[in-house]
Structure 1
Amino acid sequence: MTSISPSKTVAIAALLAGSALIAWWLLAPSNHEVTEDAYVEGNVVQVTPQLNGSVTAIAADNTDYVQAGQVLVQLNEVDAQLALARAEAQLAKTVRQVRAQFASSGQGRAAIVLRRADVARAETDLARRSSLAGSGAVSGEEISHAEDALRTARAALAVAEQQSLSASALTDQTSVAGHPDVLAASAQLRDAWVAAHRTTLRAPVSGLVTRRNVQLGQRVAAGAALMSIVPPGQMWVSANFKESQLHGIRIGQPVELRADVYGNTVRYHGRVAGLDAGTGSAFALLPAQNATGNWIKVVQRVPVRIALDAQELAAHPLKIGLSMRVAVDTRQRGGLLAASTPSGRPAWRTAVFDGELAQAAEQAEAVIAANLGRSR
């Protein structure tokens, strides 16, 4: 009987142990769902003009880093400055016209006082002459003239009262600065100031410039994309998992990621932020139509949004479109399959344009104050 050498025994035992380990790895339920069909996504903020114009200066190019509020493109501002000058002149003219209306209203009130004095004088004169009529000291013709003078004075008073009402209707319960005509002219000035200010295009966010397609002298239309800015801190990963992998994925589960650009030396940690509402093919430009006789089942994939750790992202920046390897730890299954309440995620916003209206209002107030004169 042939004996088996100890070395062969060890080899056979190792082979059996390895086979058992492989079988366990293949058959045992996995606590991770892994995919390499994952890519970096992020916000691509377009820089677009709000009015038509010709480009006179470009202050940023592709790959440049820009700060929020930094000037990127300058449009020809001649037309806008002329419109602003006309609006300032119109506001100044309107303020002075309203001042004249207030002065006319005061003049009308003074005219009423004067006409009332004329009526009182005419009434006194008529009463005195009427008392002397019986003695023959005053003729009937003089009394008739006195009556005519009283009627004339009363008519003049009525005219003055109507003129005063007409003048007061334009100025009642208001001031020069709060007059409707001044407010309308002030609004036109603010509109012209904002239009002139918008000939300077500023970066709405901080980030890297990409897709610059504007040239000097180019005539651009409102809403045309001149360039884009990618904020490096506003990125996430869209991992496309097979539909057979989704049963264990929940919102909030921890995720480990690796980027091909850094290899295995850098690992990112994130969490499942949410699952998309449909498969990638369902939202394609031309969705697949399976209502045909030659149907072949194709495993579908659903995008899963992975939120990245902000500090790790700052230490090792990523670029939009880079490939990622994603492994979701599915042991914690207490989360939701789909979001059912508002996420509470802070909304992205920019404060670059917040001060436009306030500065325009200051300009209008300065013009009004310069033309108030003694009516202040």
Structure 2
Amino acid sequence: MTDTQLDTGSPQQQRKRRWVLIGITALFLIGSALYAVYAALVLSKREYTDNAYVGGNVVTLTAQVTGNVVAISADETQQVQAGAELIKLDPVDAEVALAQAEAKLGSVVRQLREQYTGLSQYEATVVLRRKELIRAQDDFARRQPLAADQTLPLEEVAHAQQTVQTAESALSVAEKQLETARAGLQGVTIEQHPNVLAAKADFIQAWIAARRNAVLAPVSGYIGKRSVQVGTHVVPGTALMTIIPVDQLWVDANFKESELRNIRVGQPVTLEADAYGGKIEYHGKVLGLSPGTGSAFSLLPAQNATGNWIKVVQRVPVRIALDPQELRAHPLRVGLSMLATADTHDTSGQMLGAPAPANPAYITQAPTVPMKQADEAARSIIAKQLAKG
């Protein structure tokens, strides 16, 4: 090998190569410094997890009365509105019970009306017995002087005295009967009598049960799972189907315990759904942090004080609210996987969660029975029976 072959270049080329290497090294150092600054100012103020899932209210529709299913008006994946009739039970038994309750209420009103009418009869009987006693006392008073003069036989005077005693006994019986009748009726009208109120309550209960044969949707949403079939005999509490309101969704992000140091309520969170492949970005905020780890609420909590112990990093669920407008534009489903990145620059918020609001967070009026109509129906029966009297 000659000296010409060992020559790596002219001095000018060597200097040029040296400056290129210096430039590359400088660029690398500057990039490393910028990345270090970016990591310190930005990345250190973010917490990321792919252990996040969409959550929501899963409303279970249950039966309130006993009956056989005769019609089902909605199936899985279909949308329903609050108040819509989804399931209908056989109304025969409920209608028979309602008719019996109506007859019982009318019968109780009639019986009490007769008792109130009998009360005036007892009062008239007392007045009559008092007059008879006064007349018997007067007769006995007139005969006593004549008996002393032996004008009248003693036997007739004795009969007059017995008549007084009989009248006193009859008056006492009549007064006791009047007292007994008044004890159950005095001071209360027929409409407010306890027997009428009890029969009225039974009628209202039967009236409500008859209307609960139509099972209504408590919320608007989509049918998630239907477990009832036509002809099934259901009892109160039987789960019939589930409804998921897709406008009441959130994200539960399970951050590691080492990532919770700077997470606070109210911090902004950006989210991506695997269902949209990262093309759609959601913007939410932290609602609160669970007071315990996921393992603490599991069916079989870990017993770390027994046997050999291996430390496992725990995760804490963090509830994240979603933007309703973004949710309407790009619907999600319960259980979908999400990627969550929390911005932890602002650490002035609470570490757990806000107090519960004074007003209910969720409310429905759909399955509420109109009690006013039931009361009016009972009053109509009572008034009809009183009018017949």
TM-score by length of 1: 0.90
User: What does residue 86 of structure 1 align with?
Assistant: 100
User: What does residue 359 of structure 1 align with?
Assistant: 373
Residue 169 of structure 1, aligned match among 140, 165, 183: 183
Residue 348 of structure 2, aligned match among 334, 339, 344: 334
For residues 195 and 346 of structure 1, do their structure 2 counterparts lie closer, same or farther at Cα, with a shift above 3 Å needed? closer
2:253/2:318 contact within 8 Å kept: yes
Aligned ranges 1:56-95 → 2 under 5 Å: 56-95=70-109
In the TM superposition, residue 9 of structure 1 has moved relative to its aligned partner by 7.4
2-side partners of 1:282 and 1:180: how far apart? 53
- Report whether the alignment pairs 1:17 with 2:30: yes
Question: Which runs of 5 or more structure 1 residues have no equivalent in the other structure?
Answer: none
1:101/1:170 contact within 8 Å kept: no
In the TM superposition, residue 362 of structure 1 has moved relative to its aligned partner by 2.4
User: What does residue 3 of structure 1 align with?
Assistant: 15
- Report whether the alignment pairs 1:347 with 2:384: no
- Which residue identity does 2:98 align to in structure 1? L
Answer with 208-217 or 255-264: which moved more.
255-264
User: What does residue 260 of structure 1 align with?
Assistant: 274
- Report whether the alignment pairs 1:105 with 2:111: no
User: What does residue 329 of structure 2 align with?
Assistant: 315
User: What does residue 198 of structure 2 align with?
Assistant: 184
1:129/1:138 contact within 8 Å kept: yes
2-side partners of 1:219 and 1:228: how far apart? 18
Aligned ranges 1:265-284 → 2 under 5 Å: 265-284=279-298
Answer with 136-145 or 154-163: which moved more.
136-145
Measured on the aligned residues, the alpha-carbon RMSD in Å equals: 2.5
Between the aligned residues of both structures, percent identity stands at: 49
In the TM superposition, residue 12 of structure 1 has moved relative to its aligned partner by 5.7
In the TM superposition, residue 356 of structure 1 has moved relative to its aligned partner by 4.3
1-side partners of 2:299 and 2:336: how far apart? 23
In the TM superposition, residue 31 of structure 1 has moved relative to its aligned partner by 1.5
For residues 210 and 341 of structure 1, do their structure 2 counterparts lie closer, same or farther at Cα, with a shift above 3 Å needed? closer
Question: Which runs of 5 or more structure 2 residues have no equivalent in the other structure?
Answer: 1-10
Answer with 41-50 or 319-328: which moved more.
319-328
TM-score by length of 2: 0.88
Answer with 81-90 or 265-274: which moved more.
265-274
In the TM superposition, residue 38 of structure 1 has moved relative to its aligned partner by 0.9
- Report whether the alignment pairs 1:198 with 2:212: yes
In the TM superposition, residue 40 of structure 1 has moved relative to its aligned partner by 0.6
1:32/1:327 contact within 8 Å kept: yes
1-side partners of 2:100 and 2:381: how far apart? 12
In the TM superposition, residue 164 of structure 1 has moved relative to its aligned partner by 0.8
For residues 23 and 345 of structure 1, do their structure 2 counterparts lie closer, same or farther at Cα, with a shift above 3 Å needed? farther
